[in-house]
Chains A and B, each alone.
Chain A
Amino acid sequence: GENVEQHPSTLSVQEGDSAVIKCTYSDSASNYFPWYKQELGKRPQLIIDIRSNVGEKKDQRIAVTLNKTAKHFSLHITETQPEDSAVYFCAASYDKIIFGKGTRLHILP
């Protein structure tokens, strides 16, 4: 079955700097890669996603890249703000979504 590895588990960045979270997946059949943000005590919220026929996608300060050959995908957040502090989950999907273990992002003032 699919296995998704996510790094780092914790990330602290200065406000205004960029944050990068990296994931790898094992099943070459996976064709959809969503990223979820979960604030403490709240539901996971989809922030961006990418399909396997696309290499990069951007939405304002958030971008995701996908390297199908290497089975790597990454989340990039630029100009980080305090409200970006949360846990971020990457995921890979074919018939069901498999989540990575999560990255706790701290934005330092």
Chain B
Amino acid sequence: DTEVTQTPKHLVMGMTNKKSLKCEQHMGHRAMYWYKQKAKKPPELMFVYSYEKLSINESVPSRFSPECPNSSLLNLHLHALQPEDSALYLCASSDGQGSQPQHFGDGTRLSIL
């Protein structure tokens, strides 16, 4: 069973669209993460939230906007994306930030037309 749930599983959008990716965990974890993964590459960290506050932004373009409404939910708002943004977007959570096991969701496969 996947303990981190991501929706939608697949998303196709145009470059002028606005959409959101959602992530939910019910393990009581206090740190949540967004990663981007291109084919045959490792996950690349985008954002880290710790205790619902943005802790790390890895110089991600402003067309990606994260939000953490509460300790169980993490959103990624998308606007004016580029074709190179097509990738698998993974959410993860851990008991604390840093040196803790991270549990990944199944990801959202995003295609930008």
Indicate with 1 or 0, residue by residue over B23-64, a CB within 8 angstroms of chain A CB atoms: 000000000000000001111010010000000100000000
Q: Are A95 and B56 in contact (CB under 8 A)?
A: yes
Chain A residues near B107: list those with CB within 8 A. 43
Residue of A nearest to B55 (CB): A95
- Whole-angstrom CA separation of A93 from B43 in the bound complex: 14
Q: Are B101 and A46 in contact (CB under 8 A)?
A: yes
Query: Does A45 sit at the interface, judged by CB under 8 A?
Result: yes
Indicate with 1 or 0, residue by residue over B76-113, a CB within 8 angstroms of chain A CB atoms: 00000000000000100000011111111111000000
Q: Are A43 and B105 in contact (CB under 8 A)?
A: yes
Q: Are A46 and B99 in contact (CB under 8 A)?
A: no
Interface band, chain A: 20 to 34
Chain A residues near B48: list those with CB within 8 A. 96
Residue of B nearest to A31 (CB): B99
Main secondary structure of the interface of B (DSSP, over half): loop
Indicate with 1 or 0, residue by residue over A64-96, a CB within 8 angstroms of chain B CB atoms: 000000000000000000000000010001111
Among candidates B42, B98, B99, residue contacting A99 with C-beta atoms closer than 8 Å:
B42
Indicate with 1 or 0, residue by residue over A31-42, a CB within 8 angstroms of chain B CB atoms: 110100000001
**Known contacts A93-B99, A95-B97, A95-B98: does B105 contact A100 (CB below 8 Å)?**
no
Among candidates B40, B42, B102, residue contacting A34 with C-beta atoms closer than 8 Å:
B102
**Known contacts A96-B48, A96-B56: does B102 contact A46 (CB below 8 Å)?**
yes
Chain A residues near B90: list those with CB within 8 A. 43-44
Q: Which of A21-58 contact B (CB under 8 A)?
A: 31-32, 34, 42-46, 49, 51
In the assembled complex, the CB of A2 is this many whole angstroms from the nearest CB of chain B, namely 11
Q: What are the 4 closest A-B residue pairs judged by CB atoms, nearest first?
A: A32-B99, A99-B42, A43-B104, A95-B98
Interface residues of A (CB under 8 A from B): 31-32, 34, 42-46, 49, 51, 89, 93-102
Interface residues of B (CB under 8 A from A): 2, 40-43, 45, 48, 56, 90, 97-107
10 residue pairs bridging A and B, Cβ less than 8 Å apart = A32-B98, A34-B102, A42-B106, A43-B105, A94-B99, A96-B98, A99-B42, A101-B41, A101-B42, A102-B41
